[in-house]
Each structure stands twice: as structure tokens, then as C-alpha cells.
Amino acid sequence: MSVPGLPDVDRCLVMGVVNVTPDSFSDGGEWFDQERAVKHGLELVKDGADIIDVGGESTRPGAQRVSLKEELRRVVPVVAALAAEGVAVSVDTMRGEVAAAAVEAGAKLLNDVSGGLADPDMAPVVAAAGVPYVVMHWRGHGHEMHTRTQYRDVVADVERELRTRVDAVIAQGVDPSMIVLDPGLGFSKEPAHNWRLLAVTRELGRDFPVLVGASRKRFLGKLLADADGTPRPFAECDDATLAVTAIAALEGAWCVRVHNVKPNADAVRVAAAIGSVRG
């Protein structure tokens, strides 16, 4: 399932992450300098990234919001520099004003972890820009998401809540052909919830392409915890991320969002080769 205006290949796409933040959960501070962020984005493209996702605000559990002015300062120059190099750039933001500025700077995709809930101006911006839009399942900002993990049936509940958001943004003028869904792994979810959602990737993608963002997330660290229960550090979960990528790609994910691009770019090609002979 392809998305207008973005790379169209016969496999799952790979989105490389560039966090222009001092406090993101796995690599906060590494690419906070704009020049280093741009260089890193270009390196990820060489490693096989089809899309580079630039974010200027951490959405990790417990994170506090940054000001609009600061987010714009962090994000827009990096988006512009990467777009000038011909990179397909996504911007990871919950603010309509940042989204508009990023599109003007050359962004081709808007990745909104709030699915339009954090800013009522987001959907009109997306509609006017005419670019693809990721609608993620979301129940609240980082400082409150841990209190909102109750579900009757996580798959049914997430599907219903996503459908509500999709209907809302379409009503505000967003073209349905431009919508991508993200089940929001790690956002207001316990580990078991994330595994259930990954297991139904194909079902979630019945009507819209699906973006899977499992890279280095807490539920992987908990799965791989030491004998004493200490979770594995985020940066040591890349092998587990690779396993998730291969499975998600084989199960029909449109794109995977990852920090360590090169092995994941290999994994989606392996998955595509297997998928091509399944019949």
C-alpha cells in the first residue's frame, strides 16, 4: 500500500529517526546541534533510510513540553537542510504551526503522535498542505500517559479510537488517501498491549497504511530484562528492534521507524523476499 508523494517500493519502508532534542529517551542530546543533526540524517539515508523523521520535542513518558518558539528553532533548519539534499523528510510534531513551517521548509510527511488531539489547528494545516499525515493512537502527553493504560480489549479499543480520529480529521478536510495509521506502541500501553498490537499489524492495515514504531522502546527492554528484573538499556535493544522490524514488515507494515537504520534496511528486504514467494 503506497502513500502519495513518498517513496513507492515493493517492500516496507524504513524511516530513520533524528531527534533534535536534549532529552529523548534513547539518544537525547546526541543530535541536538543542528549541523550534527543534518549530518546524521544524511548518514541514515546512506544506510538505507527512505524517510528521515525530524523531531524537536521528546514524547517519552514523563516528558514536559517545549515552547513553540524552541521547537521551531530546533526543527525547521534541519528539515530545510535535509530537504535541500533531496531527502524525503517527515516532521514529528503535535503543533500545527510547526507542521506548517516544516512543510514550507520542504517536509513531505507530518507525523503527529497525538493524531490531531493536541492541537485543533493540525488537521486544517494538513488539509491545506496536502501532504501525508500519520494519525497515531494517543491518550495524553508524556507526563500523563502512564495513567491511561486501561483497556477492555486493547486491539478493539485502539482500532475504535483510531477510527474516531480518522473520521475527525477527514471531516476537517484531510484527504483519506493521505492518512497513515500508527498504533502508538509504548504510548499509554503496558508491554502486553504492545505485543498484542504488533500481532495484528496486518489487520490494523486493512484500510490504511501502518507505521510501526517499536525501536528501542521500553517494552523491549522489559522483555530482555536481567535476572534481577533490571530492564535492558534502550541502546542495547537494537537486536530486538530488528526482530520486530522483520516481523512487522512480513505482516504488511507500510513503514518502520527506527534509530539504527542499516540492519533494519536489510531486514525489510529479507521480509520482502520471503513475502514474494509466499504466494
CA distance 35 to 45: 16
> CB of 55 within 8 A of CB of 92?
yes
Pick the catalytic residue from 257, 262, 269, 278: 257
Q: Which residues on adjacent β-strands are paired with residue 257? A: 15
Which residues make Cβ contacts (< 8 Å) with residue 229, sequence separation at least 6? Answer: none
CA distance 269 to 267: 5
Among this protein's residues, is 257 annotated catalytic? yes
Pick the catalytic residue from 60, 217, 218, 232: 217
Among this protein's residues, is 217 annotated catalytic? yes
- Residue 212 sits at the vertex; the CA angle it makes with 208 and 214, to the nearest 5 degrees, is 165
| Bridge-based pairing state of the strands 133-136 and 109-112 | parallel
| Residues known to be catalytic | 217, 257
